[in-house]
């Protein structure tokens, strides 16, 4: 029997969050927090040119949009890999 399937003894207490905070999840939370701090510390206006149009907007919006696009691409590739 694997440890996850082993029967519990009556006196044994386990937390329902025991497996929630793995080292990988903690690292991802830390990276996400640092990314958000970096994004929201850069608030000045910048000009962004994508092919032809030139847009002026806050740098944090451009960084946030890029981060969300990168996360969506990463999720998409990971989902395809699992199939």
Calculate mean pLDDT across residues 19-41. 88
pLDDT at position 20? 80
- The residues, any chain, with a CB within 8 Å of residue 38's CB and separated by 6 or more, are 63
Tell me the pLDDT of the chain averaged across its residues: 82
Where helices occur in 15-58 by DSSP H, the ranges are 23-41
Q: Is the pLDDT of residue 73 over 90?
A: yes
For the whole prediction, is pTM greater than 0.85? Answer: no
Q: Is the pLDDT of residue 4 over 70?
A: no
The alpha carbon dihedral of 59, 62, 68, 73 has a sign of negative
Which residue is it, tokens 């999720």?
75
Structure confidence at residue 69 as a pLDDT band (50, 70, 90): very high
């Amino acid at each position: 029997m694997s440890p996850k399937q082993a029967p519990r003894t009556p006196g044994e207490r386990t937390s329902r969050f025991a497996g929630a905070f793995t080292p990988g999840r903690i690292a991802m939370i830390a990276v996400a927090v640092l990314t958000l701090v970096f994004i929201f510390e850069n608030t000045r206006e910048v000009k962004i040119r994508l092919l032809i149009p030139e847009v002026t907007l806050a740098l944090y919006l451009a960084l946030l949009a890029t981060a969300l696009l990168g996360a969506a691409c990463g999720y998409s590739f990971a989902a395809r890999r699992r199939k």
